[in-house]
């Protein structure tokens, strides 16, 4: 039986068919360097592309990224306070009363490995402010 050519996914039907085909590789993974391994890689790419385009996932807010790193890294709010310069500053950041400065974002990125992209994005209130200013 000839295998169908892998093409970009344009509909839910295409997506469902690609998922059904790739599932068989989870039961019996293909050997590296084989045509099946190449097929698996291509299916994974077109599925990932479809999901990124039709079901995008917003990155976490800076505060959510900090909280996640605190939880996974075993850091406390006191640790955050030492990193940012004071416990009050850490409390204000976590309470969303104060935004991060570039220096704070740099320290969090460098010391705790939080992706810079997650730390420097504007908050939702900042976006509204930008649109309001642009409209005036």
Return the pLDDT at 2.
Answer: 58
Over residues 86-122, the pLDDT tens digits come to: 999 999 999 999 999 999 999 999 999 999 989 987 6
Instruction: List the structure tokens of 34.
Output: 């084989």
Return the pLDDT at 4.
Answer: 83
Return the pLDDT at 128.
Answer: 39
Return the pLDDT at 124.
Answer: 55
Over residues 57-96, the pLDDT tens digits come to: 888 899 999 999 999 999 999 999 999 999 999 999 999 9
Over residues 13-42, the pLDDT tens digits come to: 999 999 999 999 998 899 999 999 999 999
What is the C-alpha to C-alpha distance for residues 79 and 94, in angstroms, rounded to an integer? 13
As a three-state string, the secondary structure of the chain is: CCCCCCCCCCCHHHHHHHHHHHHHHHHCCCCCCCHHHHHHHHHHHHHHHHHHHHCCCCCCCHHHHHHHHHHHHCCCHHHHHHHHCCHHHHHHHHCCCCCCCHHHHHHHHHHHCCCHHHHCCCCHHHHHHHHHHHHC
Q: What is the mean pLDDT of residues 39-58?
A: 92
For 44, phi then psi, to 5°, come to -60, -40
Residue ranges covered by each domain of the chain: 12-54, 62-135
Instruction: List the structure tokens of 83.
Output: 């990193």
CATH code of 62-135, in short, is 1.10.260
Q: Is the full-model pTM beyond 0.75?
A: no
């Amino acid at each position: 039986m000839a295998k169908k050519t892998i093409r970009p996914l344009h509909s839910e039907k295409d997506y469902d068919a690609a998922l059904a085909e790739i599932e068989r590789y989870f039961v019996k993974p293909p050997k590296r360097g084989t045509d099946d391994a190449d097929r698996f890689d291509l299916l994974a790419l077109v599925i990932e592309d479809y999901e990124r385009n039709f079901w995008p996932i917003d990155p976490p807010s800076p505060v959510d990224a900090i909280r996640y790193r605190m939880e996974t890294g075993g850091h406390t709010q006191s640790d955050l306070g030492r990193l940012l310069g004071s416990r009050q500053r850490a409390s204000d950041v976590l309470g969303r009363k104060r935004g991060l400065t570039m220096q704070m974002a740099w320290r969090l990125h460098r010391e705790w490995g939080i992706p810079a992209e997650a730390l420097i994005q504007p908050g939702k209130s900042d976006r509204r402010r930008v649109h309001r200013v642009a409209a005036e």
